[in-house]
Structure 1
Amino acid sequence: MLLQEQLIQSVKEKCEHDSDVASCMMYGSFTKGEGDQYADVEFYLFIKDNEFEAFRSRRWIAEIASYDLMFRNEYGTEVVVFSNLIRGEFHFLPASEIDVIKTFKPTGVFPDTESMFIYDTTGMLKPRLDFLGGRGPERMTSENVNFAFNNFVNAWLMGVNVLRRGEMARSLDVLTQVQKHSLQLLRVKERKADRWLNYTKNLENDLNAENYRDYCLITARLQKEELARAYAHALALAERLIESLETDYDFEVDAKLLNKLRHYLMR
């Protein structure tokens, strides 16, 4: 049994013996058949409303397993680094907020909602998990393709400009946005857009060899020449992507604008 599976079992047993917990669900790799020895463990716990104010998450997690670090990140998630160096993410909410589960529907595909079920005393968890089942949101739409292309152009131009100003670190940071939207478009091209939000997940297996090489060409170290090459390759990739996708999607970005960007790069 993986250490992560032992932690999952410990969370389940803790829920079963803690009268403060109304419901608990899991999300992430272990609910998608992708859990391995490198995966995180991730949970939503719903605490009875009348106990929520007095509930102490640090104490609760410490009774699951020892940890070396626990903090609240910028999204309000309680992040835990257990002593065995497995990462955990925990969301603790009042039981009355269980409908938050329904808001997960637009974020992706949930192929096995039964595996998300950990514990429930209310009868309210399973119907909400069932709501998440079935097909995920349609990603391969003109709206999404244009969103990716438009944001690509915006990030590309900003990255080139700050590079010319001499802000190489900032240009490298902006390049991550260029890469993000390029990958979203490559996933549309390969009809593997389910990972629209988690676009780098399993990339080495999801993209074919040619498209993966194209992605590699738009990566760079913090060196001016490498950054310049990465932005040049990114623009060339965008032009090829429009050519390959234009029969299926209506683009707001046209060849005239891309040609202008190409000339701008050559100045």
Structure 2
Amino acid sequence: MPPHRPVTPAQRDLDRAIRAAILRDGRIGHALAYGSFTQGTADAFSDLEYYVFLAPADLPNFDVRAWLNAVAPVRHFVANDFGTPNAVMDDLIRVELHAEPETALSQVEAWPNEHMDPAAMLLKDQGGRLAAHLAALVAKDRPQPETAAQLIHDRLLNGLVFGVNVLERGERVRALELMWWVRGGLLRLARLAEGNTEHWLTASRRAEWELSQETLERYALLTGRLDELEMLYAEAWNWMQDLSERVPGLRGANPQLARDLTDRLGAAPQRR
């Protein structure tokens, strides 16, 4: 494992400044932090992540960019693919700040119960409602990866067939893009096969240190250039079949479907 780069003074100072601004702002009735800083795993490259909840009447006038810029200079700002406001501050520190109406407080209970620590997360809570929802969240069962194994396998198989057909049509750029979904499914099956599901929701997180060298080497074989796609898809199919035998209780591909895929990919050159 490479040397740990501890959290920087700049990160700590910015976190303290944001927390203080949340406490001062009378429009914010409830707030929490989440992510690696609340899980005890933050390092020099970690984001700062928060939710603030306001009265519905105050929300339209709450400008996230302006609010953050009053705390520290915002060097870049955008809503990401999921609609979450993202800011880049000095020293390339990323900040995610969700602003939600107080009527959405109960939605916290629907979050996956993975690495949740209410004592570390809770920042502000007028009336105690947020604390109650966080308590209900951590009372839920944690994700059970084994119960999702068959669905992951079946979605992976669907994605693999999708990619193979696109590749044979000649859309190599699109086939390379679809390989992203294939790699993600294989990484989850690999975690199940190795019994290491500590970071299940984001299967790639800390993979270099949590998964075996064999898995990392096989994963690396799924990366390459546009002119290597036949090898990549053949390797993905081979690895999928191996993992199907190693994950307990997993039902593999339909035999005829397996033969069809092998006929399409089996003759492709292997890169070892």
The 2-side partners of 1:43 and 1:87 are apart by 11
| Pairing 1:249–2:249 present | yes
Partner of residue 125, structure 1: 130
Q: Quick one: distance in 1 between partners of 2:198 and 2:255?
A: 28
Deviation at 1:113, TM superposition (A): 2.3
Change (3 A) 1:220 1:108: farther
User: What aligned pairs does 1:101-112 form with structure 2 within 5 A after superposition?
Assistant: 101-104=108-111, 107-112=112-117
**Misfit runs of 4+, over 3 Å:** none
1:119 aligned counterpart, secondary structure:
strand
Q: CA deviation at 1:4?
A: 2.1
Q: Given the alignment of the two structures, is residue 15 of structure 1 paired with residue 22 of structure 2, yes or no? A: yes
Q: How many residues matched?
A: 259
Whether contact under 8 Å (2:32, 2:123) holds in the other structure is yes
* Residues 65 and 87, structure 2, Cα contact 8 Å, conserved in 1: no
Counterpart of 1:165, as a letter, is R
CA RMSD of aligned residues (A): 1.8
On the 8 A contact 2:56/2:102 being kept in 1, the answer is yes
Residues of 1 paired with 2:87 and 2:241: CA distance? 43
- Aligned equivalent of 1:237, options 218, 224, 239: 239
**1:139-178 to 2 correspondence within 5 Å?**
139-141=145-147, 144-178=148-182
- SS state of the match for residue 75, structure 2? strand
Q: Which whole-Å CA distance do the structure 2 matches of 1:70 and 1:232 have between them?
A: 41
Distance 1:114 1:81 in 2: 27
Pair 1:70-2:77 in alignment:
yes
| Deviation string, structure 1 residues 84-129 (Cα, Å, up to 9, x no partner) | 311111110112221121111xx35124221111222221121222
Structure 2: stretches of 5+ with no match in the other structure: 1-7, 268-272
- Retained in 2: the 8 A contact 1:26–1:42? yes
CA distance in 1, matches of 2:258, 2:9: 50
- Is contact 2:113–2:137 with CA below 8 Å preserved after alignment? no
- Could you state the TM-score of these two structures normalised by the residue count of structure 1? 0.90
**Letter in structure 1 aligned against 2:130:** L
> In the superposition, relative to structure 1, how do residues 58 and 112 fare at CA in structure 2: closer, same or farther (>3 Å)?
same
> 1:136–1:194: 8 Å Cα contact kept in structure 2?
no
Give the superposition deviation at 1:200.
0.8
1:171 deviates by 1.1
- Give the superposition deviation at 1:230: 1.2
CA contact (8 A) 2:47 2:94 kept: yes
Unaligned runs of 5+ in 1: none
Letter in 1 for 2:234: A
The structural deviation recorded for 1:3 is 2.2
CA contact (8 A) 2:166 2:174 kept: yes
**1:24·1:120 contact (CA, 8 Å) conserved in 2?**
yes
1:250 deviates by 4.2
Q: What displacement does 1:169 show?
A: 1.1
AA partner of residue 92 (structure 1): A
AA partner of residue 249 (structure 2): Y
TM-score (norm 2): 0.88
Q: Report the Cα offset of residue 54 of structure 1.
A: 2.5
Q: Aligned letter for 2:238? A: A
SS in 2 for 1:53: helix
Q: Helix, strand or coil: the match of 2:45?
A: coil
Q: Which residue of structure 2 aligns with residue 61 of structure 1?
A: 68
Identify the range of structure 1 (172-181 vs 56-65) with the bigger mean alpha-carbon deviation. 56-65
Q: Superposed, which structure 2 residues align to 1:13-92 within 5 Å?
A: 13-92=20-99
Deviation at 1:255, TM superposition (A): 4.4
Give distance in 2, aligned partners of 1:167 and 1:185: 27
Q: Which of residues 214, 218, 235 is equivalent to 2:222?
A: 218
User: What fraction of aligned residue pairs are identical, expressed as a percent?
Assistant: 28
